[in-house]
């Protein structure tokens, strides 16, 4: 799933419960310069209050973010490959990350935990979160 031109939108929006995104390749078109200047295109975005979402065995690349996880959404992000992005953004959501890996060019960060996101499991201890996800680089803004 891709587009020919960069535009500020997400490829998939998820609402409701028990949805899955499995075995896809989702990528954006090339954008010039550092990723801080890219349009904000995302592989997927959860709406508020979605529950039990499974994101598994996908490849995400050349996107501003593979996903933006909105408040009160829950689920599992398992076995995905992500590269050339600014990483998963967790905004007060609760997702279990496991078995994800990071390609080249590397991400700015792999997982960003925004202010207001819970402390404790499944994010803490941070070293365990990183170890369970191929030495993920984590930006903890909590």
CA 19 – CA 25 distance, rounded (Å): 17
Sheet holding 25-27, edge to edge: 25-27, 59-61, 81-83, 101-102
Tens digits of per-residue pLDDT, 39-85?
A: 999 999 999 999 999 999 999 999 999 999 999 999 999 999 999 99
Tokens 């007060």 — which residue?
Answer: 92
Distance, in Å, from the CA atom of 37 to the CA atom of 53, rounded to the nearest integer, reads 30
Single pTM value for the model = 0.95
């Amino acid at each position: 799933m891709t587009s020919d031109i960069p535009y500020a939108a997400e490829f998939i929006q998820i609402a409701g419960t028990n949805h899955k995104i499995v075995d896809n390749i989702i990528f954006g078109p090339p954008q010039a310069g550092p990723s801080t200047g890219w349009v904000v295109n995302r592989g997927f975005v959860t709406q508020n209050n979605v529950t039990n979402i499974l994101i598994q065995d996908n490849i995400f690349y050349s996107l501003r973010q593979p996903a933006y996880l909105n408040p009160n959404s829950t689920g599992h992000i398992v076995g995905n490959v992500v590269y050339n992005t600014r990483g998963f953004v967790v905004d007060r959501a609760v997702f279990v990350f496991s078995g994800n890996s990071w390609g080249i060019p590397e991400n700015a960060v792999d997982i960003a935990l925004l202010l207001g996101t819970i402390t404790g499991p499944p994010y803490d201890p941070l070293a365990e979160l990183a170890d369970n996800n191929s030495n993920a680089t984590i930006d903890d803004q909590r």
